[in-house]
Amino acid sequence: MNSKPIIITTGDLKSVFFEIFFKSIKKNIKSPIILICNKKDFLKQAKKYSFKKKIFLISSEDLNKNFHYSKKNLNIINVDLDSCLNKKYKINIEKFYIQQSFNIAFKLIKKGLTNKFINGPINKKKFLNNKNLGITEYISKKFKIKNYAMLIFNKNLSVSPLTTHTPIRIVSSKIKREIIKKQIQYINDFYTKILRIKPRIAVTGLNPHCETILNIDEDKKEVLPAILDMKKKKILVDGPVSADTIFLQDNRKRYNVVIGMYHDQVLGPFKSLFEYDAINITIGLPFFRISPDHGPNVKMIGKNKSSPQSLLNAFTFLDKI
């Protein structure tokens, strides 16, 4: 474990993030925390959730100097919204807030301050455009990373969709041998180098039961050859396996990771099994980016019923890095 701080952006202005954040930091978190947020909103939420620990306020001007933060207290970098609330400005405050939060976080990461980053939940429809299908893609693009993978991590079983936030109607066009091989390699490298585990990996087929009566058979043409190539590298990978049986109990015990062809093929069953006991890790970035595995969940704001489990898992993971 190193003592580098964890940088956190809260995501949407309106979400359950602060509820789960204040629940989480009651636990013994070893790494220092730098929270990028609106100070007024933080103080309001801190009072609501009876948070009374000291905070260390960092000025935005400090970002251009020798950056200092407290290793004992909660660090706050204020994202000023007062000017945006002025009627003269026609600006999407929600989008501005998220962009500014990310800009500050990325600046500190690029400075080498830390390699640990958590972003809170974001409503993609309000923030993104058609050039970025998800936050994973948005962050990767900001760091000019073209090769990356999404890993929904649980210590017992993880999943990784080959296509991240791709609309289902174009998924089949993205199923390519070389892409599959890279994904298997990313997963294997992450487990062996970071987790010190030689993983057993299962790769699903695209079609029901890994077969089709059509002339184009992606499972035979793209998936199977990719798996055979990676087996030659002594990687423990099987497939293509049928997506409708891979999550049965015996298979869950056999594999560490299931690589699926598209998002809901693996995330639907996974979340049914583990619910919030997971974290979303982007593999391939020059730092550890984690997103708690839940959305803004605006319907639950103020009810004090949201589970902090995923954020706690994120803290536990990053504390060990």
- CA-nearest of 223, 108, 251 to 162 is 223
Q: Which fold has domain 148-282?
A: Isopropylmalate Dehydrogenase (3.40.718)
Q: What are the domain boundaries of the chain?
A: 1-145+285-321, 148-282
CB 79 within 8 A of CB 34: no
CB burial of 261-290 (b: ≥16 within 10 Å; e: otherwise) equals bbbebbbebbbeebebbbbbbbbbbebbbb
Q: How far is Cα 83 from Cα 248, in angstroms, rounded to an integer? A: 54
Same CATH topology for 1-145+285-321 and 148-282: the answer is yes
Check residue 295 and give its pLDDT.
66
Give mean pLDDT, residues 130-148.
85
- Token reading at 158: 């993880």
Give mean pLDDT, residues 112-121.
94
Specify the length of the chain in residues: 321
Q: Look up the pTM and report it.
A: 0.90
Judged by average pLDDT, the poorest of 20-24, 44-48, 86-90 is: 86-90
Percent above pLDDT 70 for the chain: 93
Q: Where are the alpha helices (DSSP H) in the chain?
A: 17-24, 39-48, 93-110, 124-127, 135-142, 177-189, 218, 224-231, 249-254, 263-274, 309-320
Q: Which fold has domain 1-145+285-321?
A: Isopropylmalate Dehydrogenase (3.40.718)
Check residue 218 and give its pLDDT.
94
Q: How far is Cα 258 from Cα 239, in angstroms, rounded to an integer? A: 10
Q: Which is higher by pLDDT, 27 or 238?
A: 238
Check residue 123 and give its pLDDT.
86
Q: How far is Cα 226 from Cα 304, in angstroms, rounded to an integer? A: 47
Secondary-structure breakdown of the chain: helix, strand, coil percentages, each rounded to the nearest 5: 40, 20, 40
